[in-house]
Amino acid sequence: MIGSVEIAGGGIAGLTTGLAFARKGWRVRVHEQDNDLRILGAGIYIWENGLRVLDALGVLDPVIAGTIPASRHEKRNHHGGVFSQSCLASDFRLYVPLRETLLTALYDALLDAGGEVAFSSRAVGAAPCGRLEFADGCSVAADLVIGADGINSPIRDSLDLLRWRRPVGQFGYRAMIRREAGDWSNESPEAHCENWNGSRRLLYAPCTPDYAYVQLTSLKGDDLGNAVPIDRAFWRELFPGLCWVIDRIPDDGSGDWFELVRLKDWSKGRVALVGDAASGQPPFLGQGGGCAMMSGFSLAEAIDREGDVNAGIATWKRSERRVIEWVQQVAYWYGQLARLPPGARSAAFKAIELCEPLKRVTLFAGARHDPTAEDYWRFDPDPSFPFVFPLVH
């Protein structure tokens, strides 16, 4: 079917979903509350699953142009000693472009495909019959309405779809730093490195020849670790070998408390939720955006295949929901390893790293999921993600 879709939210989820429907010939309008794309000064991990979606949507090249492919992932202690590492194969890629590059490429492609983005357009709710309501009192009807309005989603809440939303007790500060010529002697080229000291983590990821992405994480209650702007002296003391990184971290980076979101349902009538509105998760697998992209892409595919909005939404939920909820859980549990004493945590990381089958169904469950595969819709959903673990933080 060819229909119309109104989307609340012009972030990764909204723009990817809009592009996926525009590629199918739908009339697409994305409503973004801000007066421009919300550009954060940060990088974004895009694993194989996200890269395949971008490729299927014809937008991979501009997203990864000039971005350095990651070849290795390392975990180091605060003295710089590597205690766990893995290599990435050529059929299992990871790129970390700037968020700005990703959003701009999606936006440009959406406009080229005939889609529209309305800025300064704030949605406040939706009705199951397929109506999107705005802050100025207006509303529009469409064959499909999508809430891609982020973790605080008013669309989700207006439909009473939230089951629960839990803080996970962890904080992250992210920013871009400039790379300089001498850095090559300090860093492992193409290696993405998590540096640990106690429960604090400093992630360093080269993005382009000129920029690297840095993320600092700490537990709730760690006042020095949670400080924004960052307490430079504190982080320098924790990672004395990385002062060259810490000294370049800007004061205007972004600080976030991580949360996990679980819904009663991913849709109501003709309204569906994608991205953080439905599957907000702590960022320890680098899969929040990947899940958003998979979800938006597969929703368009499912409706296109079924030729009917309601049937398509039902098929989409059957195939995607438990995979993505599983990825959320793994992200939560993986992040909780920060609470272990250092020796136990290193042992846990090493054990996971060395056990390929375990890694496949945990850390890489999202990255290995491929809704772009030709035979994807021919089979019943993969039954291998049935577990539900309690949350314990």
Ligand X SMILES: Cc1cc2nc3c(=O)[nH]c(=O)nc-3n(C[C@H](O)[C@H](O)[C@H](O)COP(=O)(O)OP(=O)(O)OC[C@H]3O[C@@H](n4cnc5c(N)ncnc54)[C@H](O)[C@@H]3O)c2cc1C
Residues that bind ligand X (CB under 6 A): 8-14, 31-34, 38, 44-45, 122-123, 148-150, 154, 172, 174, 215, 256, 275-277, 283, 286-290, 292
The minimum distance between CB 20 and ligand X, in angstroms, equals 13
- Specify the residue, 13 or 176, whose C-beta has the smaller distance to ligand X: 13
Single-letter amino acid, residue 292 = A
CB of 45 or CB of 385, closer to ligand X: 45
Give which of 273, 13, 312, 8 is closest to 163, Cα–Cα: 273
Write the DSSP assignment of 192-244 as a string of letters.
EEEEEETTEEEEEEE-SSSEEEEEEEEETT-HHHH-SS--HHHHHHH-GGGHH
DSSP string across 63-103:
HHTTPPBP-EEEEEETTS-EEEEEEPPTTS-EE--BHHHHH
Residue of 119, 111, 122, 102 lying closest to 35 (CA atoms): 119
Residue 305 burial class via C-beta count within 10 angstroms: exposed 0-12, middle 13-18, buried 19 and up: middle
CB of 16 to ligand X, least distance (A): 8
Nearer to ligand X by Cβ, of 143 and 276: the residue is 276
Find the shortest distance in angstroms from Cβ 329 to ligand X: 15
Burial of 221 (0-12, 13-18, 19+ CB in 10 A): exposed
Minimal distance, residue 155 CB to ligand X, in Å: 7
Nearer to ligand X, 206 or 289 (CB): 289
Give the nearer residue to ligand X in terms of CB position, either 23 or 156. Answer: 156
CB of 72 to ligand X, least distance (A): 17
Nearer residue to ligand X within complex by CB, 275 or 371: 275
Report in angstroms how near the CB of residue 58 gets to ligand X at its nearest.
20
First to last CA, the chain: 46
Identify the three-state secondary structure at position 154. helix
d(CA 62, CA 286): 20
Q: Which is nearer to ligand X, 288 or 312 (CB)?
A: 288
The CA distances from residue 101 to 40, 59, 104, 135, in Å, are: 11, 11, 5, 30
Please, which residue, 37 or 347, has the CB nearer to ligand X? 37
In whole angstroms, how close is the CB of 30 to ligand X at the nearest point? 9
Least distance in angstroms from the C-beta of 95 to ligand X: 11
Helix (H, G, I), strand (E, B) or coil at 153: coil
